[in-house]
Amino acid sequence: MSALNDKEKTPYVVSSKSYAAVAINCAAKAGEWIKSKQGTVQQLNTKTSAQDLVTEVDKGAEQMIRRLILTHFPDHAILGEEGVEPGPEASAKALETALEEDYVWIIDPVDGTTNYVHGFPFYSVSIALAYQGEIILGVIYDPSRDELFIAEKGKGAYVHGNPTRVSGEAVLSDSLVATGFPIDAASNLPQNMEALQAIVPKVRNVRAGGSAALHLAYVAAGRLSAYWEIGLNAWDVAAGVLLIEESGGRVTDTNGSPYSLKVRNIAATNGAIHEELLQVLADSAG
């Protein structure tokens, strides 16, 4: 075999670029494209329920991000929402398969598709990178405000280059708290309504903005004191979890167990009000 033939067989990989630089590039590029397409959606389809929307923009953005990641890191695994069949079982299986690789990129190309379709400017691109199951990088980009949130494990979290810090409320009664209404309404809605009924009188107020990723970024940036939601997937939260941890906050399952990529019921706070929030959620469960 000649040396030339050996060379031809070696796949070409562009010279190394940091994970963070690639994630920022992906989020910014996809975000700009998504924004440019706002109001032009042609294919509005549903997935698990009439509320669970997907458009050609979700799919196109994920494709764009996948291609860019694979250009730099062809041997990394990618777990993207649009590459997984709907429903919790398929999601768990896809996560398990992806985690067979050391490096897994976890992508939600449009978090907040309902808002996007309605022209409500609160949606985001969420990209995380996990190494051996641990999130080491998270980027959330809000194209409507041109805000890019980034966290790297052990290096802090930033928006526009400024460090983010969780808010200082010490009690729930001083807190602004967000939640979301699960897409699997049939099984999750009663639990959610009980929790909501218990929380509302105990906090300053509640918001439900419609993008899990942005809610988490807002907890990291101290704009919300806490956020909880049940029935989420890894792509909704992975990037946001790291943002909060690197901003001094705390994320667990709603029952208080530590966060892992498999956790679907999320409680994310500034840390100070975490136990109080968990207690109200626990007491509300009938």
Q: Which residues bind ligand IPD (CB under 6 A)?
A: 108, 111-113, 180-183, 210-212, 229, 232, 236
Any idea what DSSP says for residue 100?
Answer: T
**3-state class (DSSP) for residue 261:** coil
Which of the ranges 60-68, 85-93, 130-138, 232-240 carries the binding residues for Ca ion, by CB under 5 A? 232-240
Smallest distance from the beta carbon of 10 to ligand IPD, in angstroms?
38
194 annotated binding-site participant: no
Task: Please say which residue, 17 or 118, places its beta carbon nearer to ligand IPD.
Answer: 118
Smallest distance from the beta carbon of 54 to ligand IPD, in angstroms?
8
Contacts of residues 19-24 at CB distance under 8 Å and 24 or more positions apart, as own/partner, are 19/73, 19/129, 19/136, 19/137, 20/137, 20/139, 20/150, 20/152, 22/68, 22/69, 22/72, 22/73, 23/127, 23/129, 23/137, 23/139, 23/150, 24/139, 24/148, 24/150
Which of the ranges 26-34, 138-146, 165-173, 234-242 carries the binding residues for Ca ion, by CB under 5 A? 234-242
Q: Convert residues 53-82 into a mask of x (bound to Ca ion by CB under 5 A) and - (unbound).
A: ----------------------------x-
CA proximity to 152, closest of 126, 123, 124, 130: 130
Smallest distance from the beta carbon of 257 to ligand IPD, in angstroms?
20
184 annotated binding-site participant: no
Residues 6+ apart with CB under 8 A from 118: none
Distance of CA 77 to the CA centre of its chain: 17
Smallest distance from the beta carbon of 254 to ligand IPD, in angstroms?
14
Which stretch of DSSP H or E encloses residue 216?
Answer: helix 212-220
Task: Please say which residue, 56 or 174, places its beta carbon nearer to Ca ion.
Answer: 56
Smallest distance from the beta carbon of 184 to ligand IPD, in angstroms?
9
The verdict on 152 binding Ca ion (CB under 5 A) reads: no
Task: Please say which residue, 57 or 272, places its beta carbon nearer to ligand IPD.
Answer: 57
Smallest distance from the beta carbon of 154 to Ca ion, in angstroms?
26
User: What's the CA angle centered on 251, arms 216 and 80, to 5 degrees?
Assistant: 60
111 annotated binding-site participant: yes
The verdict on 108 binding Ca ion (CB under 5 A) reads: yes
Cβ atoms of residues 263 and 235 within 8 Å: no
Which of the ranges 64-72, 83-91, 236-244, 248-256 carries the binding residues for Ca ion, by CB under 5 A? 236-244
Task: Please say which residue, 138 or 180, places its beta carbon nearer to ligand IPD.
Answer: 180
Smallest distance from the beta carbon of 212 to ligand IPD, in angstroms?
3
The verdict on 169 binding Ca ion (CB under 5 A) reads: no
Task: Please say which residue, 143 or 210, places its beta carbon nearer to ligand IPD.
Answer: 210
Distance of CA 285 to the CA centre of its chain: 26
Transcribe 136-164 into DSSP letters.
Answer: EEEEEEETTTTEEEEEETTTEEEETTEEP
102 annotated binding-site participant: no
Cβ atoms of residues 249 and 166 within 8 Å: yes
Tokens describing residue 186: 């049939």
The verdict on 245 binding Ca ion (CB under 5 A) reads: no
**3-state class (DSSP) for residue 246:** coil
Task: Report the binding-site residues for Mg(2+).
Answer: 81, 108, 111, 236
As annotated, the binding site includes 81, 108, 111, 236
